[in-house]
Structure 1
Amino acid sequence: MRRLILILVSLGCAAVAPLSAQSTARVGLATRVFHPEQRRNWRGAEHKELRCTIWYPAASTATETKQLIGPPDEPLFEAGSAALNAEFAPALRKLPLVLLSHGSGGSAEQFAWLGTALARAGYIAVAVDHPGNNSHEPYTSEGFILSWERATDLSEVLDGVLADAEFGPHIDPQRVGAAGFSIGGYAVMEIAGAQTDISILFDFCKEHPDTTSCHVPEMRGMGSPKEMLQAVRKSSRESLARSGESFRDERVQAVFAIAPANGMVLTDESLRAMRLPVEMVVGKTDPIADPRDNANWIHMNVRGSRETLLSGGVEHYTFLDTCTAAGKSKLGVYCADNAGVNRDAVHAQVAAMAVKFFDRALKAR
C-alpha cells in the first residue's frame, strides 16, 4: 500500500442502511489533528502532527453515507458507513474510549471496520496515522525502526481527545482501552506495560534474513533492517537509547491485539508483570506475524490473557478493510485472501470479539 492510495473520499454518497442488523445505532465520523506541545520524535515525518480519524455513536437522525478509500473515480477499499460530523447520540453517562493503532505502512482509515463496530456498540474509537509509517506520506526508516514511539503517539492522542471541546465531555477517562493490528498490536502491548529488547529482532534477522517478518511488503525499497538501523542511529540515538524503557500509560485499562507483530522483542519479565486484560486474535497460518513468534509468546507470558487462532485460511492482510474490485486488481497481497475467506465475515467475527472484550473490561465498571 503506497501513500497515494489511501485518501478517504466519497463523503457525499447516497445514504445506506446500518451495517449490522443487530443494531440500529448510527455512527458519526470526524477527524482531528493534534499538535503536542512537548518535544518528541517525529520519525522524520513530513507532517509534525498527529492526524486522527474518530468514530462515535451518532444521533438517530444522522444520515450515514458509504465511506471509501482511494481515488474518487476508482476507490480501492470499502470503509463502512458513517455520518460525517454528525451530532452525538444523547447519553446518560460518559462513553468509554478505544485507541486504535494501524499496521505497518497503513492508515487510521484501515481500522474503519472495527471503528464503526465499536461506535455502534457505544464506544468512541480514535485511530491515529503514525508519523513516518503511514500511507499518506513517504515512509521513513525511523518510522519502521522506532516502533516504541507509537505508544507515545497513542498517549498524546489520548491527551488531545480528552482536551477536545467536542469529544472530551463525552469521554469517561476511567474507561479507556486500546486495540492494534500487526505492529499496532505491538504498540498497544507497549502502552499496556510491555518493554522492548530491540536487539532480539536484529539478531534474529541477521541469522534468518529470509524470514518474512524481516522484510515485510511495506519495507520494499527501504533496505534491510540492518541498513535501516544504521540510518536511524544517525538521526535518533536518543530514541534508540530509551527503546527498552516502559511506555505504560496507566489510563489504558485493557488491550486487544490483532495479528500482533514484533512480539518476540517484548521481554518476558515485562509481559509477566502486566496485570490488565489482554486478548489477541490472529490467523493460524499468518506468514507475516507468525503466531509462534508473536501472539503465542505474549499469551505464554501475560497472565490471564486470551488468544484465538482463526483457521480456514485467514492470514495477515485479511484484517485490512475490504477491497473493492479495483483494489483486488491493483493491490496484490493486500487484497489477495485465500479461497473461501470472506473478509467481511472475518471482520464481523473479530469486531464482535473486540466489543465483547471491551464490554467486559470497560463497560462493566
Structure 2
Amino acid sequence: MAGSEVSEPTVRTLIDTSRPDLFGRGSGRPIRVYDWTPALRGDDRPLVVISHGTGGSGRDMGWLAGPLVAADFRVVSLDHHGNNHVDGYHPQGFLFGWERPRDITFALDSMGGADRVGVAGFSLGGYTAAALAGARLDRCIIGAILSGEVPLPPIEEFPDALQQLQSSTPPEAWSAAADDAARDLRDPRVIAAFLVAPGLGSLTTRESLNAIRIPVEVRWGDSDTTNPYELDVRPYLDHVPHAHGSEVGGGVRHEHFIEPLSPDRADVRASVAADAVRFFSAQLA
C-alpha cells in the first residue's frame, strides 16, 4: 500500500504538563498523535510508533504507516513539539532532540496496555527510536555544541536555531540541557527499532550503543549528505550488538525518504516500508 492510499488517521493532542509549551500557548507540551488504526476493544495487535524527521510531521509518514497498517499492525505517529511544520519551529525543538523520545514514552503511557511495541523513525526520528532502545548522547559534545565551542552542522529548515537559543536562554540552561541529553531514555516496552537514514549517530556514546539489547534494523541512502553514512549511520551499525542494515539503492538522497518532496522515488520508500513490515513481523510476533 502506498502512502497516498492509506486512510486518513484520526488525530488527537496529548498534553504533557511536566514539560512546557515552548510557544507559551498552553499548560504543557502538546504531542499530536496520528492514529492510523484506532484501537478496537480488547485490541492485542502489536503496536508500531513512528517518529518523523526534523521539521516534518507524523502525517507525512503515511508511506511507512500504510504498509504496516495493511500488515495488521496498530500504528501511530507523532508530531514532535517545536520541530514540526504544523505548529511551527522553535530552536529548542530542533536542538533538544532528546525531548522526542520522551514524547513517545508519554504517548505510550497514555495509550496503556501496549506490551509489544516497535519504534520506527526517519532522520532525527531514527535517533529518537535508537534513544528508546538505549542510545545516549555524549554530554560533553552536546554541551560544546550548545555553547558554540563545537560547530553545529547546518540545519536547512532553521539555520539560525543555535543563535536564537543562545540569545534567549542563559548559559546555565545550556548546561542543564546537556545533562538532560545524556540521560537514559530507554523505554522497556520498546522491543524492536527500525531506523531510516538516522541522525546523531556521531553524538552517541559507544558504551550506550554497546549496551542495547533489542534488535535494530537500519536503512540508508548512498548519496545522503544530510546524515552521511560514515558520520551518522555507521556508529549504530558498528556498536549496537544486534544491529543489521543495508543501503537502499544507487543515488538515494535524504529527501527521497520525504514523500512530499520526492514523489518520483516512491520505489525507495515502498522498498524500505516492505523491509519494516518484515522486520516488525518477525520481532513483534
The question of a shared fold, defined as TM-score above 0.5 by the shorter chain, is answered with yes
Q: Secondary structure at the match of 2:75?
A: strand
Find the counterpart in structure 1 of residue 186 from structure 2. Answer: 248
Q: Shift in Å at residue 41 of structure 1?
A: 4.5
Structure 2 length normalisation: TM-score? 0.87
Partner SS state of residue 184, structure 1 = helix
Cα gap change, 1:136 to 1:359, in 2 (>3 Å):
same
CA-based RMSD of the aligned residues comes to 2.9
Structure 1 residue 310, shift from structure 2 partner? 2.0
Q: 2:13 maps to which residue?
A: 33
Q: Which segment is superposed worse, 41-50 or 99-108?
A: 41-50
* 1:307 equivalent in alignment to 2:245: yes
* SS of residue matched to 1:147: coil
Q: What corresponds to 2:127 in structure 1?
A: 186
**Cα deviations by residue, 1:184-233 (Å, 9 ceiling, x for unpaired):** 11111111111111543675896885xxx71131123x24x466356454
Q: Which moved more, 1:230-239 or 1:265-274?
A: 230-239
Partner of 1:50: 31
TM-score (norm 1): 0.69
Q: CA deviation at 1:132?
A: 0.9
Structure with larger Rg: 1
- Return the letter of the residue paired with 1:32: R
> 1:102 is aligned with what amino acid?
H
- Alignment-derived partner of residue 215 in structure 1: 154
**Corresponding residue number in structure 2 for 1:140:** 90
Which whole-Å CA distance do the structure 1 matches of 2:239 and 2:50 have between them?
Answer: 23
Which residue identity does 2:137 align to in structure 1? T
> Given residue 273 of structure 2, which amino acid in structure 1 is its aligned partner?
A
Q: Are 1:270 and 2:191 counterparts?
A: no
The residue number in structure 2 matching 1:358 is 280
Contact 1:263–1:294 under 8 Å retained in 2: yes
Which amino acid in the other structure matches residue 82 of structure 2? Answer: G
**Does structure 2 retain, via aligned residues, the 8 Å contact 1:196–1:243?**
yes
Q: Is the 8 A contact 1:101 1:187 kept in 2?
A: yes
Q: Displacement, 1:304? A: 2.1
Structure 2 vs 1, CA of residues 283 and 45 (structure 1 numbering), >3 Å: closer, same or farther? farther
Shift of 1:247: 0.6
Letter in 1 for 2:13: V
- The 2-side partners of 1:204 and 1:118 are apart by 37
1:27 touches 1:120 (CA, 8 Å); kept in 2?
no
Q: How far did 1:287 drift?
A: 0.5
Kept after mapping to 1: 8 A contact 2:139/2:179: no
Alignment partner, residue 152 of structure 1 = 102
Unaligned runs of 5+ residues in structure 1 are 1-17, 57-84, 163-171, 324-333
- 1:228 maps onto 2:165 in alignment: yes
Which structure shows the higher helix fraction? Answer: 2
Q: Percent identity?
A: 31
The aligned counterpart of 2:267 is 345
Query: Alignment partner of 2:199: what SS?
Result: coil
* Contact 2:143 2:175 (C-alpha < 8 Å) held by counterparts: no
Other-structure match for 2:48: 98
**Do the aligned residues in 2 keep the contact of 1:30 with 1:55 (CA within 8 Å)?**
yes
**Counterpart check, 1:107 vs 2:57:** yes
Aligned residues between the structures = 280
| CA contact 1:50–1:128 (8 Å) conserved in 2 | yes
**Residue type at the aligned position of 2:62:** A
Query: SS of 1:157's equivalent?
Result: helix
Kindly indicate whether the alpha-carbon contact (under 8 Å) linking 1:181 and 1:259 is maintained by their aligned counterparts in 2.
Answer: yes
After superposition, the Cα gap between the structure-2 partners of 1:229 and 1:218, relative to the gap in structure 1 and judged at 3 Å, is same
What is the distance in 2 between the residues matched to 1:306 and 1:278?
6
